[in-house]
């Protein structure tokens, strides 16, 4: 006689706001990892900008990209999926880290500017704004005052 068991996982229903943040972080991490692979492998051509990188190293640039915009969003995303309360602050950190990354990138590399830089800069501000909105919403539902 074969016995089968059914495992039902209770998945919390996430709001549209939460899903937007989680998907934004997942996509950000994915593109960061791909960009890091491109930099480290040399397949991503930075042209003259390579000489402007700290220590002129594509390896260091790729590792920094993977950590700041890949690993941090991944850790926060996983923490949020597991229900850790600190993920709420983590979402804000992800957004502000992306904004800071772009501002430093523009300061170090200078013109010409890429439309992608503008897109990622806006993306960082959007993640940060969504994080603030999510925190406000949670405070209201938890009965906490600001």
CA atoms 132, 92, 126, 82: torsion sign = negative
Residue 50 has pLDDT above 80, yes or no: no
The residue among 103, 133, 102, 107 whose CA lies nearest residue 28 is: 102
pTM over 0.85, yes/no: no
What 3-state DSSP class applies to 101? helix
* pLDDT tens column, 54-100: 776 788 888 999 999 999 999 999 999 999 989 999 999 999 999 99
Average pLDDT, integer, range 23-35: 97
Average pLDDT, integer, range 105-128: 88
DSSP 73-95: HHHHHHHHHTT-TTHHHHHHHHH
What 3-state DSSP class applies to 42? coil
């Amino acid at each position: 006689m074969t016995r089968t068991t059914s495992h039902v996982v209770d998945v919390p229903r996430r709001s549209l706001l939460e899903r937007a943040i989680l998907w934004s972080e997942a996509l950000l991490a994915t593109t960061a990892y791909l960009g890091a692979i491109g930099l480290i492998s040399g397949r991503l051509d930075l042209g003259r900008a390579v000489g402007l990188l700290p220590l002129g190293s594509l390896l260091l640039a790729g590792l920094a990209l993977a950590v700041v915009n890949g690993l941090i969003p991944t850790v926060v995303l996983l923490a949020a999926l597991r229900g850790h309360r600190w993920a709420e602050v983590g979402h804000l950190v992800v957004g502000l880290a992306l904004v800071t990354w772009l501002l430093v990138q523009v300061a170090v590399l200078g013109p010409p500017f890429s439309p992608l830089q503008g897109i990622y800069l806006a993306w960082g501000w959007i993640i940060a704004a969504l994080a603030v909105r999510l925190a406000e919403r949670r405070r209201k539902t938890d009965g906490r005052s600001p």
